[in-house]
Structure formats: C-alpha cells, structure tokens
Amino acid sequence: MFDNIAIHLLLYTTNLEFPKTFNFYFFPPKADPPLAETFNYSMSLSPNEQFRKFLEDSKNILLLLTENPTADAVGSAWALYFFLEKKGIIPSIAFSNHLSSKFDFLPRPKRILEEVSGARDFVLSFDISRNKIIGIKQEEKDNKFNIYLTPEHGSVDPRDFSFIPAKFKYDLIIVIGSSDLEKLGSIYADNTDLFFEVPIVNIDHKSDNDHFGQINLVDVTASSCSEILAESLKSIDASLIDENIATALLTGIIGATDSFQKKNTTPKSLAISAELMDKSADQQTIVRWLYKTQPLHILKLWGRTMAKLKSENDSPIIWSELTVEDFVQSRSKTEDLPLILEKLQENYSDGKIFMTLHKETPQTSVALIRTADPELAKKIYLALGGEIRHGYLKIKVENENMSEVGRAIVEKIHNLRTTK
C-alpha cells in the first residue's frame, strides 16, 4: 500500500534565492505484529466472553457487510450499531453497493459508509534536534501536494525526515455474514492493511466460513447471524436491548428464515424471536415491509420485466432482457434485480430457473440467475463460472448482443439438465 509513496517537498533555505526540490521515497520496514496480539485474553474464556472483552477495550468499531447485504446482515449490523452506541462506543457500518429500500422502516444508523476512507493518518516527521523548522506552508499544484519548510539554519538534511503510518482509527473490526474477507468486495481489496493490523470478530452461521477472525462467533446450527448476535448481546447486557435493537434482530431472523418457513427455523430461533417480540419488536410490520410493501420504482421495474418475459417450449427457464431505458423509466437500478428475481420465483411455480439480462457497459452483458435447486445451481456455476451472491449467480459476458447471450446461456443450462 505504501510502496512508491513519494512526498514532493519544496524546501526553502535561508541562504538560497530559489527553492530546493527533492523527492523523498519511503519503503516501510516490516509491519508491526497485528494489534490483535496485544489482546492477551485467556483461552479459557468462551467466544462470547472474549467478544465482550474486545468491546470493553474498544472505542471505535467498524462493522463490515458483504456487497448488497441481506436482511440478516442488515438486521444484525443495525442492532449491533445501536447497542454499541448505548455502551458509549463509536460504531461505523460499511458495505459496497446498494441497500434495498425494503429496510427503510428500520431506524437508520448515522454512520453508514460505502468505502473506508481516512482510516489511517500518515505522519511526516522532521528531527529538529539539530535544525529547527521556523516556517511551513502548503499548496496543491499540478496534481501534487507541496509542503514548503523553512529551516532555522542552512539547508535541510533529507536524513532528518521520516514518513510513517499512524495507527488505524478503528481498534476493532466486526464482519457480519461473510464466509471470507474477499466477499467484502472493494472494502477489503482497497484496505488490506487494515485487516492485518486490526483485530477481527467474525460473525456467521454458514458452514463454509473460513474462520478468519481472532474471535469467530460461527454457529452452523443457528438460523442466522441475528440469532447468534441476539444471544451474544443478551449475555453482555440484556438491559440495553430496546425496541429498535429487538426489531432489527427480528428483521434479520425473519429474513433468514423466510418468515419462519424455511428448514433452518429451529425451536431456538422461535424462542429468541419470542423474546425479541417481548421487547416490542413488531413482527407484522417487518413481514409487511420485507414481503408485501414494494416501492413504486420496484413495481415499475417488475412491470417492465414481466412485459419482456421469455420462455422456451417445455423449458423451466424464465428470463427477461432489460435495457437502459427500462431502468431510466422506472427510476430503478441494477441492484434492484435480485428482488425482481425473488418475485419471479414467488409468482411462477412452473419455473425452476429465473434469469435477467442487462448491460453493464455497451460491450458487456450481465446475467443474473436464480434457482431453488442447489444441485442445479452448482452445475450452472461450474459450467458457466461467474460469482455467487446471496442466492443468485452473476455472470458477465463480453458481448453487446443481450439476446445472443441469453439464448447461449439458456442452451447451456438446457444441456446441463438433460445430461446425466
């Protein structure tokens, strides 16, 4: 991250009539051990007890979600945000991409970031034991940030300079609902040093989780991250769980269990949900917003998708091509398409595979594919590649002809289904 950093210094000297210019390059020494190593907590503590200790020793916490977060991730993050605020901690939430409007009924945290910027300061240090600095000014010119220093005596010795990164302003990272760090998208890719130097708490319920945290609150028997977090927050301080926190947690559980209809619904998740409702979490409002109330732009995009539906004879594949005009006229975004795929699946019982096509660039077509058949989904992924995100497969194809891309994908999927 710091390789090839050049500080362009223009140094005025007292005995010269013109500025003396040089470039100072800094190649950092080997990084210090991760901050997590300074936490000397007994291994006899349970993960929840270790989590509580981490929170007690932290002042500024970063909560991270995957791109296009699910109801479970949003509910967990919102609940933890307000819980931390009540404990006097400064939390921030960050995730890439779009947040669905179906979560608008939840009280919104103030510090929600799309990127992690300004997470670390850099210190330009000058040894003044032999020569003091008596003047300093700065300017931006020709795409450079110039610092002008005036020494007390003679000229400046470059050996008196050092350029070092300060500590990150966050002293704890909590990752929610991500099986690995790469699924955080650009937030991880653009800030890898952050994840090596700041301790991580990993909260998840998926079996493929990489256990990448210093603390891993991973329970594959839980219905959701919200269920795990509800238990953890209760053990830390149940008195802090108010209506807003309870509603956010119940939102996550309802979203993850499809309103208690999926097989991952357990007696434990039902019992925790009942406790949250005792804290005034409104189940009916949550269900109405997650499953029934749809914003106008979603309804418009849904209508345009329906008008362009295609289906081959005797084929379980239902698909639709959407143009830039469709998004402009409906005032919607491509990030709304996963919800459209959900609605297609809910309304077409005869269909087994659902797909939308849209343009990312004039030359690039993007297919989003959703199916309720896990084995078929795996076959499609292995055959076509792409990226799996929250129940759908995203495939990018360098071809400006969407219809051609659509027909090719439909044919490949048809061959997969007929090949034993």
Residue 113: CA count within 13 A, CB half-sphere? 16
- 150 pLDDT higher than 90: no
Ranges of each domain in the chain:
5-30+120-168, 35-117+170-288, 296-418
* Intra-chain end-to-end CA distance of the chain, in Å: 49
In angstroms, the CA 200 to CA 35 distance is 10
pLDDT computed for residue 22 by the predictor: 34
Is the pTM higher than 0.95? The answer reads: no
pLDDT computed for residue 310 by the predictor: 87
Number of helices (H), then strands (E), belonging to the chain: the values are 13, 18
pLDDT computed for residue 291 by the predictor: 82
Q: Give the pair of three-digit tokens for residue 331.
A: 């005032």
pLDDT digit string, tens, across residues 271-294: 999 999 999 999 999 998 888 777
pLDDT computed for residue 349 by the predictor: 64
pLDDT digit string, tens, across residues 304-349: 999 999 887 667 888 999 999 999 999 999 988 988 888 887 777 6
pLDDT computed for residue 200 by the predictor: 95
- 129 pLDDT higher than 90: no
Q: How sure is the predictor about 197, in pLDDT bands with cuts at 50, 70 and 90?
A: confident
Kindly report the CA angle at 270 between 265 and 273, in degrees rounded to 5?
120
pLDDT computed for residue 166 by the predictor: 62
Residue 31: CA count within 13 A, CB half-sphere? 16
Greater confidence (319 vs 100) lies with: 319
Q: Give the pair of three-digit tokens for residue 10.
A: 């223009």
pLDDT computed for residue 348 by the predictor: 74
* Range 382-401 average pLDDT: 85
Greater confidence (299 vs 20) lies with: 299
- 231 pLDDT higher than 90: yes
pLDDT computed for residue 29 by the predictor: 36
- 6 pLDDT higher than 80: no
In angstroms, the CA 345 to CA 128 distance is 69
Query: Long-range contacts made by residues 159-162, C-beta under 8 angstroms, separation at least 24?
Result: 160/126, 160/127, 160/128, 160/130, 160/131, 161/9, 161/24, 161/124, 161/125, 161/126, 161/127, 162/26, 162/124, 162/125, 162/127
- 5 pLDDT higher than 50: no
pLDDT digit string, tens, across residues 132-142: 877 888 888 87
pLDDT computed for residue 13 by the predictor: 34
Range in 28-37, 140-149, 177-186 the model is least confident about: 28-37
Strand ranges in 86-238 using DSSP code E only, listed in sequence order: 90-94, 112-113, 120-126, 133-141, 144-151, 161-168, 172-176, 200-204, 215-218
State the average pLDDT for the chain: 82
pLDDT computed for residue 146 by the predictor: 77
- 60 pLDDT higher than 90: yes
SS3 category, 97: coil
pLDDT computed for residue 283 by the predictor: 94
Residue type, 37: E
SS3 category, 240: helix
Q: What topology is assigned to 296-418 in CATH?
A: Diaminopimelate Epimerase; Chain A, domain 1 (3.10.310)
Q: Which helix (H) or strand (E) holds 285?
A: helix 283-287
Query: Fold match between 35-117+170-288 and 296-418?
Result: no
Q: How sure is the predictor about 220, in pLDDT bands with cuts at 50, 70 and 90?
A: very high
* Range 171-191 average pLDDT: 91
- 31 pLDDT higher than 60: no
pLDDT computed for residue 350 by the predictor: 65
- 4 pLDDT higher than 70: no
pLDDT digit string, tens, across residues 337-385: 988 888 887 777 666 889 999 999 999 999 999 887 777 788 888 888 8
Greater confidence (8 vs 96) lies with: 96
Q: Which of 166-180, 215-229, 333-347, 403-417 has the highest mean pLDDT?
A: 215-229
Q: What topology is assigned to 35-117+170-288 in CATH?
A: inorganic pyrophosphatase (n-terminal core) (3.90.1640)
Q: Give the pair of three-digit tokens for residue 73.
A: 């991730």
pLDDT computed for residue 121 by the predictor: 62
78, 109 Cβ separation under 8 angstroms: yes
Q: How sure is the predictor about 114, in pLDDT bands with cuts at 50, 70 and 90?
A: confident
In angstroms, the CA 179 to CA 390 distance is 11
SS3 category, 239: helix
